[in-house]
Structure 1
Amino acid sequence: MQLRPEQLARHLESPLAALYLINGDEPLLVQEAADGIRAAAIKQGYDERIRHDVDRSFNWSDVLADAQALSLFAQRRLMELRFNNKPDAAATQALCALAAQPPEDTVLLILLPKIDGKAQKAKWYSEVEGAGVGVSLYNIDANELPKWLTARAKGLGLSLPADALQLIVDRTEGNLLAAAQTLEKLKLLHPDTAPSVEDVAAVVSDSARYSVFDLADAVLNGDATRTARLVLGLQAEGVAESIVLWALQKDLRGLTLIAEQMHSSDQRQASSQLLTQQGFWSRRQGPAQNALRRLSLPRLQRMSSGIIDIDRAIKGQSPDRAWDGLLRLAMAMAGRPLFTG
């Protein structure tokens, strides 16, 4: 069964399905959808949570063993499969097996990167979605962002003038997490009054000397010296590692998808339309073209596969330091890797 994103909350008030298939590239939307399912699962007695982070070298026997073991116990559990890349042949085969025979007393939550309409017609996707509920979370473009912000502000009890909304749109450039945090700050600072455009400007101006947007631009421009300085500056300012990872991952994923399409169609240069589709607005298209000339497809794919290690470090699931991983990733994207090989 397929649900629209706005239908999910109402659906979760009923007994949960055996399987949820969520796909999308916007971290905030994916996070909030997953949080809603987790909260509903806890409310309905699924007290234990098992999480598997899936990459290209993932051993599917671990998941299948967990699935078999779960049926031996009465305790109800939520099993999450979080994909960093689109499923390969081994993954789709395992997902179809799980969909055909879901483990007992278990809700499967499968989180995927964006799967386009054509790919959703694939046999594996239809089989998995048919065993439960599928939700596609589409990115919110610049034209839709004011409407999204207005609805979110209303949910917080905020009323913002049009020029204030546009200021948030211009400053956050499509970063929904930053936009949502801006609204939350405004609610805390102005709980009983409607914020003015000056109030919004004070919040979005950001007193910190360093910005993740500056870092993303430095990386795209191949300015390794400024990239290193910005990463260290963001760390010193206490900026959340997850925000920095979001900024780097967003561009890395876009560049990788563009490079894959260029390779498959034997193109030497990406079109403006293709760049726009992957979130590179007009002023960033030149730097994006330079980055694509600087970084080969295999190199981009290797960097993408390392995202999951940084994510684990941020979540405390690895002994590695997240900031070290972020610095390595940013420098590699800027064209000056700290280590070769």
Structure 2
Amino acid sequence: MAPNARIFPNQLEQALQRGLSSGYLIFGDEPLQRFESIASIVNAARQQGFDEVERLYLDSTDAIAELSAALQGMSLFASKRVIVLDMGNGKCGKDIGAILNDYGQYPSPDLIVICHGSKLEKAQQNTKWFKALSAISQAITIAAPSGDRLTNWLRHRARAAGVQLAPDALMYLQEHHEGNLLSLSQELEKLSLLHDQSPISVEQLHQALIDQSRFDIFQLTDAIMAGQVHQVEHMLRQLKDEGIEPVIICWALSREVAQLQALMMSPDQQPQLFKKFRIWPSRQPTIKRALQQLSVQRIQQAVMLVALLERKVKGAETEQSLSWTLITQACSLLMNPAANVDWLLTAELS
């Protein structure tokens, strides 16, 4: 396939297996496919020795200098680099256009440039910089599927997530989220954690979709990993007011801590573990940031604290107030590396 032949996101993995391009043009108004495509390219590039990834933004006040330095300068940290340029609406000034045009004329074998943004107008596709990059780049068409294409996308996505949907459940899910792939993906991820491998009926799906309080627990763990202290405090109060059993939150925290420990102990196996734990590309940056902030010792403390939490929460004599106090402390430990919880870790577990 020629470098400038357009492909769809579902053809990207096959294209990457054939080899990497000097550039990638990923433009469209559907965010999930766009960012998952970028993640796939970056992952494939890392496997080929492109160890450094630099992310630039066209709306930055120093965009011209940063892009010029990135494309023309040498890195102190890696000989092969990936430049991810967020171009927003794709409208760039003369200086940016000239820099991109020059790279299109003289690409480097040690650079991969990924340009992405919202759907481009015809006039933008006729600019010199776009034509120059198109000659050396793989273009990926990003558009939200509809009709049969959406059905096939949803069926494939559910299978990848380990979710079996009855035909009427698949249609129900499609009708309620048509055009919003990110929302569909999130629903499938939640269903994969809330149900076993048996087919999910439309009745079960309907119950799951209206049971928003259970979904809030997954949003809670996301907020914890992102270090959103005030959001976590608010969500904990809301879950408590709604009468959510502490044991359910305890289960979610236990799962999260176990995954963090596995990822931290085997950093070279992260791609495989992300797949095993069904941590989608859209969530991976949040998890990676958490791993960077937490030390091995802090993760081990979190494992001990969650063990204490499980014992106390499941204990028939434990008061609800103590359970929620322990949950709050566990969340604090994961969000604040400096939190002092020694008094909890020395508590009697029985």
- TM-score where L is the length of structure 2: 0.55
Residues 71 and 234 of structure 1, relative CA distance in 2, 3 Å threshold? closer
CA distance in 2, matches of 1:33, 1:94: 24
- The sequence identity of aligned pairs, in percent, is 30
Deviation at residue 206 of structure 1 after TM alignment: 4.4
Gaps of 5+ in 1: 212-231, 239-314, 317-341
Within-5 A mapping of 1:53-132: 53-55=57-59, 57-70=61-74, 75-90=79-94, 91-116=96-121, 119-132=124-137
Residues 152 and 59 of structure 1, relative CA distance in 2, 3 Å threshold? closer
Does residue 183 of the first structure (1) align with residue 181 of the second (2)? Answer: no
Gaps of 5+ in 2: 217-229, 237-287, 290-350
Pick from 234, 237, 259: which aligns with 1:236?
A: 234
Once the two structures are superposed, residues 11-68 of structure 1 have per-residue CA deviations (whole angstroms, 9 ceiling, x without a partner) of: 1123311111111111110111001001101111111111101117553122112222
In structure 1, the residue matched to 2:27 is 23
Pick from 41, 46, 56: which aligns with 2:45?
A: 41
Amino acid at match of 1:11: A
CA distance in 2, matches of 1:194, 1:144: 22
Amino acid at match of 1:205: I
Within-5 A mapping of 1:299-310: none
CA distance in 1, matches of 2:171, 2:232: 26
Deviation at residue 204 of structure 1 after TM alignment: 1.9
CA distance in 1, matches of 2:111, 2:233: 40
Are 1:164 and 1:200, in contact at CA under 8 Å, matched by a contact in 2?
Answer: yes
Rg (Cα) greater in structure: 2
Amino acid at match of 1:95: L
In structure 1, the residue matched to 2:156 is 151
Are 2:89 and 2:120, in contact at CA under 8 Å, matched by a contact in 1?
Answer: no
Runs of 4+ in 1 over 4 A off after TM superposition: 71-74, 116-119, 208-211, 232-235
Within-5 A mapping of 1:126-275: 126-141=131-146, 144-208=149-213, 236-237=234-235
CA distance in 1, matches of 2:206, 2:231: 23
Deviation at residue 194 of structure 1 after TM alignment: 0.9
Amino acid at match of 1:236: H
